[in-house]
Structure 1
Amino acid sequence: MTKDAVTSHQEASGLKRMGANIAWLFGGKGFGAICSIAYLAILARSLGIRDFGHFSLIFATGQAFVALAGFQSWQTMVRYGTRYVHAQDWVKFGRLSMLCGLLDWIGATLGCVVAWIGYYIFADDLGLNPAYIDMAFAFNCVLLWSRVSAPVGIVRVLDRFDIAVYVEGLVPLGRLLAALLLWFTGPTVGKFLFAWAAIDLLSAAAYWISARWIAPTSLRARHIGDWRTTLTENEGIARFFGVTYASSTLDIAFKQGPVLAVGYFLGTSAAGIYRLADQLAQGFGKLSQLVGRAIYSDINRSRVAQTAAQFRQLVKRVTAIAGIGSILIVTLALLLARQLLGFIGGEGYESGAVIFVPLALAASLEMASVAYEPVLHATNHARLALLARILAIAALGCGMLLLVSQGSLGIAWAVVAGQAFGYLAMGTMVLIAMRKMGHSQV
């Protein structure tokens, strides 16, 4: 076989593996999307605009606290664990797994402390409804402890996306069943929060059990005490933890910040309408996260196993495919915005159609840039990805300050501006990183 033929075969193999992983996740997410639309419709219709707004603000606040306290340890598992899987070094893989799990638990503990301070000391400053503070705090703590990242990374680096589909399918199915039950037994904000919390805990337990099942020789409690060894044998891991933590925090701030801003400046009912439009738009955005998660491990694996030229070609092909997906998102948004909102939420939510279009445009930009952050991480330029997110959040903040007088629509267009700025910045960083391949900084 000629050199060109070998190169072509390796590129095709990488794309085929990505395609298989994406197919598994799309199957699961397709099922999840159907369930999500159904339970979102029940939520919006049964609670009404105002209470749905309360639920949305509590959920968004919880997600923000989770981002502040949570490490993206799944990315670290993939980034550093890929070489151990490649070398079949399960002892080092186990030490890395338990370090990531330990950080998840530390983050959850600290997050509960931060949430208590936020809910009980600064509640008045944040404009929180006193009637919901206790349940919001309890819900937030459950979100923190049910947020699993290390086992997600273990499943992905071992290429068991089939297991991820089954486990993650528990959440939308459980929420749909709970929503149907509450619809007939008397829906309240508190009951929905309790149901969502219980289902998230079940999913977290299932993820850890699955990770232990597929890596029984690696997930050993004794490895928890080896954290110093793990830090030593994985050069740059502490910096990578810090960079991915900051990057994920900014990403959540970008996604949840506008909802909180609408609630703060425009009221609970406006937040409910904005949230429904945002949920639908982020449904398209989740396709980006879906693809990003599927390709993350393969891009890291390709960087280890392929030449620089092969890696560049793979990145170009993935980016081209993502661009086609982004065009489809915008087209669907323009055609189906009002019908989707009216069908899910009822007539009171149809006014959100004008908000949905710019939010879907932002989601399309996210899809177009889906390969950028994995590439920057794989090429040891995670700091450039962080810089791009900082620029995007700055653009979002400036946009919201300038456009908040235009109401929810103004904030939606601020999201587009921030996403566009981030897209251009991240794309520029990727070009820089590809030219510097071979450097070792993180």
Structure 2
Amino acid sequence: MPAKRDRQESASPLGRILQNTAWLLGGKGFGAICGLAYLAILTRTLGLKDFGHFSLIFGTAQALTSLAGFQTWRVVVRYGTEHLHNKDWDKFGRLGMLCGMLDAVGATIGCVLAAIMIYGFAHILELNPGYVDVAFWFCCGSLWALVSAPTGIVRALNRFDMAVYVEAIVPSGRLVAALVIWATGPSVGRFLAAWAAIDILEAILYWIMARRLCPQAVRVSNFSKWRMALEENPGVTRFFLITYAGSTIDAAMKNGPLLVVGGWVGTRAAGLYRLASQLSQALSKLSTLLTRSVYAEVARVRVASKAAEFRKLALQTSLIAGLAGVVVVLIAIFAGEQLLAMIGGEAFESGAGILVPLAIAASFDLASVAFEPVLHATGRARLSLVARLIAVVALGFGLWQFIPIGPSGAAWAVALAGAVSYVAMGVMAWRTLEKVEAGQIAVGIDDEPLG
């Protein structure tokens, strides 16, 4: 039974990217409105101190899910696109179930890491002892709510429209839960329990949707055929390890500064940093959406188009994303303080000094949205890992130099790392495109062994 593809698609790669991004933006626009609403409830009902505790627990869970979450959706898209192009549903299914099994292994390992981190190092973050058990169970719930493999299946099938409906469960569910908790008695534990339950519900629905879209592929029997999947996708293990290392580094860059602020400056400062970070992420949501669309389309162009079209697509998406990044920075500069005060109240107004550098960092993420997909699609994923390692060194240097300033110092360290990552990965991506167009690199050939 073939996968369901009953949606009219644009004829051009850029058109499909914009079409998919529009679907995602519609869902995320709704999600952003809900997110700002429940964030306002959180900050105003918990106050700066308890919101700081919530932020540290949530940030720890995000760090763990990024560390134990293997980003298997990239594997499904990178290798599954060719199986879909050839209409080989069995191979696609075995690959998807292999990635689902890896997700489960990652969640199990993550729970062990959560026990070590929460029960062994909570005192470093000045976490209230009454929240330790809650923090552990929240981390476990978040780990098992990972939906990377079914997400990859849906993206490889180019059904971003269907993903919008499932992903709307989280922001709408959190808003409803926040309103109920606000009315019945707000507490850090109740908010965390609600967040975890909603995330798990989304994971279940994602698997159901993947099954409905591609029943031939999403079958329990394929879980036992993981060895066959490894044989059918040469280089998949190396690609998986490289992308996992890259996502781990990315997690350190995104969540590390918050934990450093909590441990070095204090819980209140962590709450202030968290709100500014959330707002900057909301302003730069286009970066995440474009990444999802671009990654899937670049993988598709890799197997179905010529090198010139491949290069043109990268140039077009980079230009669009770069202009969006400029808009993000301007909003943060001219309206950041008002937005923070509107969401969190007067206690959070001072977060404007944190928001601007975080927005600058987000603008670099936006501008570089096509770089990593290009490197992955051309079998040079190791170069994106090298660029991330360089950025981590820059982040460490920035934190060492700027953290005495306070939370804003951590934000400027993030901005420095973003700039370094943009330059490093950008140079590698454009050199790769030049070699592709010159015929020196065959699109889709896997990396040579590391070492």
Could you say which residue in structure 1 is the equivalent of 2:6? none
Secondary structure (helix, strand or coil) at the match of 2:397 reads helix
Task: Give how far 1:435 is off.
Answer: 3.2
Measured after TM superposition, the shift of residue 285 of structure 1 is 3.0
Q: How far apart, CA to CA, are the structure 2 residues paired with 1:48 and 1:86?
A: 53
**Which residue in the other structure is 1:7 paired with?**
none
Distance 1:180 1:417 in 2: 38
**Alignment match, 1:246:** 245
What is the distance in 1 between the residues matched to 2:313 and 2:120? Answer: 51
- In structure 2, what residue type is equivalent to 1:302? V
Partner of 1:432: 431
Could you list the per-position Cα deviations for residues 136-190 of structure 1 after superposition, in whole angstroms to 9, with x for gaps in the alignment? 0000000000011000000111011111100000000000001111111110000
Q: Distance in 1 between matches of 2:394 and 2:282?
A: 23
Q: Within 5 Å, which residues of 2 pair with 1:77-92?
A: 77-92=76-91
* 2:212 corresponds to 1:213: yes
Q: Distance in 1 between matches of 2:38 and 2:129?
A: 27
Please state if 1:137 is matched with 2:136: yes
Secondary structure of residue in 2 paired with 1:380: coil
Q: CA deviation at 1:127?
A: 4.6
Partners in 1 of 2:311 and 2:197 — Cα distance? 44
The residue aligned with 2:5 is none
Which amino acid is the alignment partner of residue 37 of structure 2?
A
- Give the corresponding residue for 1:29: 28
Instruction: Name the residue aligned to 2:385.
Output: 386
Q: Secondary structure at the match of 2:12?
A: helix
The one-letter amino acid of 1:373's match is E
Counterparts of 2:120 and 2:391 in 1: how far apart (Å)?
A: 31
Distance 1:81 1:26 in 2: 25
Residue 320 (str. 1) matches residue 327 (str. 2): no
Aligned AA (1:211): A
Displacement of 1:433? 1.8
> Residues 11 and 310 of structure 1 are in contact (CA less than 8 Å); yes or no, is this contact kept in structure 2?
no
The match for 2:38 is 39
Is the Cα–Cα contact under 8 Å of residues 372 and 425 in structure 2 kept in the other structure?
yes
Deviations 1:258-309 (A, max 9, x none): 1111111110001111110111011123320111001111111011111111
Q: Give, in whole Å, the separation in 1 of the partners of 2:312 and 2:114.
A: 45
Corresponding residue for residue 167 of structure 1: 166
CA contact (8 A) 2:284 2:325 kept: no
CA positional deviation for 1:11: 11
The separation in 2 between residues aligned to 1:219 and 1:236, in whole angstroms, is: 23
Give distance in 2, aligned partners of 1:389 and 1:128: 30
Residue 379 of structure 2 aligns to a residue whose secondary structure is coil
Local SS of the residue matching 1:147: coil
What's 1:288 paired with?
Answer: 287
Q: Which amino acid aligns with 1:105?
A: A
2:31 and 2:172 in contact (8 A); partners too = yes
Aligned AA (1:97): G
What is the TM-score with the length of structure 1 in the denominator? 0.96
**Which residue is equivalent to 1:257?**
256
Distance in 1 between residues matched to 2:281 and 2:120, nearest whole Å: 32
Say whether the 8 Å CA contact 1:396–1:418 is kept in structure 2. yes
State how many pairs are aligned.
433
Aligned-residue offset at 1:117: 1.8
Q: Distance in 2 between matches of 1:383 and 1:285?
A: 26
Shift of 1:12: 6.5
Whether the aligned pair in 1 keeps the contact of 2:10 and 2:16 (CA below 8 Å) is no
Is 1:304 the counterpart of 2:303? The answer is yes
CA contact (8 A) 1:53 1:270 kept: yes
| Residues 258-273 of structure 1: pairs in structure 2 closer than 5 A | 258-273=257-272
Structure 1 residue matching 2:284: 3-state secondary structure:
helix
- 1:352 counterpart letter in structure 2: G
Match of 2:201 in 1: 202
Give the Å deviation of 1:124: 4.0
2:176 pairs with 1:177: yes
CA drift at 1:341: 0.2
Q: Give distance in 1, aligned partners of 2:288 and 2:326.
A: 16
How far, CA to CA, are the matches of 1:329 and 1:367 in structure 2? 9
1:344-401 CA distances to partner (integer Å, 9 max, x unpaired)?
A: 0000000101111111111111100111111111111111111111111110111001
Distance of 1:347 and 1:112 partners within structure 2: 38
Distance 2:264 2:303 in 1: 49
Q: Is the 8 A contact 1:81 1:93 kept in 2?
A: yes
Q: Which letter does structure 1 place at the counterpart of 2:308?
A: A
Deviation per CA, 1:202-254, whole angstroms, max 9, x where unpaired?
10101000000101111111111111111111111001110111111111111
SS at match of 1:436: helix
For residues 41-190 of structure 1, the aligned pairs below 5 Å read 41-124=40-123, 127-190=126-189
Return closer, same or farther for 1:271/1:388 CA change in 2, 3 Å cut-off. same
Structure 2 CA distance for partners of 1:258 and 1:369, relative to 1, 3 Å: same
Superposed displacement of residue 133, structure 1? 1.1
Unaligned runs of 5+ in 2: 1-8
**Contact 2:125–2:259 (8 Å) recurs in 1:** no
Return the alpha-carbon distance in structure 2 between the equivalents of residues 149 and 355 of structure 1: 31
Q: Using the alignment, how far apart are the partners of 2:13 and 2:75 within structure 1?
A: 21
Shift, 1:118, TM fit? 1.8
- Residue of structure 2 in register with 1:369 after alignment: 368
Q: Say which is worse superposed, 391-400 or 119-128, in terms of deviation.
A: 119-128
AA matched with 1:80: Y
Q: What 5-or-longer segments of structure 1 have no aligned partner?
A: 1-9
Counterpart code for 2:313: L
Counterpart of 1:410 in structure 2: which amino acid? Answer: G
